[in-house]
Amino acid sequence: MSIAITGASGRLGRLVVQKLKGKVDPALIVAMVRDSAKTHDLGVAVRQADYDQPAQLEKALQGVEKVLLISSSEEEGKARQHLNVIAAAVKAGVKYMAYTSLLRTETSPISIAADHIVTERAMRESGLDVTMLRNGWYTENYADFFLAASGSGTLYGCAGDGRFSSATRSDYADAAVKVLTSQGHEGKIYELAGDTSYTLADVAKELSRLIGKVVTYQNASDSEYIAALKRMGLPHLDAAKIANFDTSAAKGALFDEGRQLSALIGHSTEPLATTLQQMLKR
């Protein structure tokens, strides 16, 4: 029986497939993708599986025992797309599903939390064995802003003193591989976040240290920050979403000290300084 990964053409999905290949026979791995042209390099079976195409999803899940549902990157209709995957998994006879949800999703002020709540509920009601991988912040999310700040000397945001307990996609991919390849994760909810946390002012300090030039953090109100992001060319919805991440961080939504991620994956999460060093080498 196979293990399928949805969204396998994405940055997290690719890492999961690569890491899974080191743990199970690659012949047992199915990469489910919207556009198969993007994934010939994965070295595993690729099946067409658009979240908006229920029949395609059911076909792609034939013979699959376990599936990792990677949350959709689309702004509209995320929850509906996820429900399509869950329904197709039930019809295809899948036994187990893990899902990349959001840290403390029931109480999170992050705008996309509602989609995760709907998805988690549908999974619990599906009759499948399920695991919630409630992923916290990806350290890479603000890579472009950090790189811009290392050039300009100013990092902008509206997170105030909000702390980000972030981890890398690679750390979160390790968690997904762990639950797909070991026993006892059925019915579990993992609140996953990095071992250490930082504010955006801490990021500025770390960037200063790494590049040998002063970078300062400039905090704005959310409306000022949205306006600044729009001046940089972002559409209003994207700017508002980013500002919502920061204001949510200011309310503590991205801070976590449970260390469930490192406990699950059996190693420390990558420190901010290491990820920043990699980003600066790009």
Ligand X SMILES: NC(=O)c1ccc[n+]([C@@H]2O[C@H](COP(=O)([O-])OP(=O)(O)OC[C@H]3O[C@@H](n4cnc5c(N)ncnc54)[C@H](OP(=O)(O)O)[C@@H]3O)[C@@H](O)[C@H]2O)c1
Residue 275: both structure tokens together: 């990820």
* Contact call for residue 141 and ligand X (CB under 6 A): yes
Stretch 44-83: interaction string toward ligand X, x if CB under 6 A: ------xxx-----------------xxxxx------x--
Whole-number Å distance between alpha carbons of 111 and 274: 29
Kindly tell me the burial class for residue 111, based on how many C-beta atoms sit within 10 Å of its own C-beta (0-12, 13-18, 19 or more). middle
Provide, rounded to whole angstroms, the least separation between the CB of residue 214 and ligand X.
28
Using Cβ positions, the residue closest to ligand X within the complex turns out to be 10
Contacts for 77 with CB less than 8 Å, ≥ 6 apart: 52
Residue 232: both structure tokens together: 């940089």
Which amino acid is it at 111? S
* Contact call for residue 125 and ligand X (CB under 6 A): no
**277 C-beta neighbours (distance < 10 Å), count:** 12
Provide, rounded to whole angstroms, the least separation between the CB of residue 271 and ligand X.
17
Stretch 28-47: interaction string toward ligand X, x if CB under 6 A: ------xx--x---------
* Contact call for residue 194 and ligand X (CB under 6 A): no
Residue 179: both structure tokens together: 């639950």
* Contact call for residue 257 and ligand X (CB under 6 A): no
Which amino acid is it at 9? S
* Contact call for residue 146 and ligand X (CB under 6 A): no
Say if CB 233 and CB 157 are below 8 A apart.
no
Size of the site for ligand X (CB under 6 A): 24
Q: Which residues bind ligand X (CB under 6 A)?
A: 7, 9-13, 34-35, 38, 50-52, 70-74, 81, 100, 135, 137-138, 141, 169
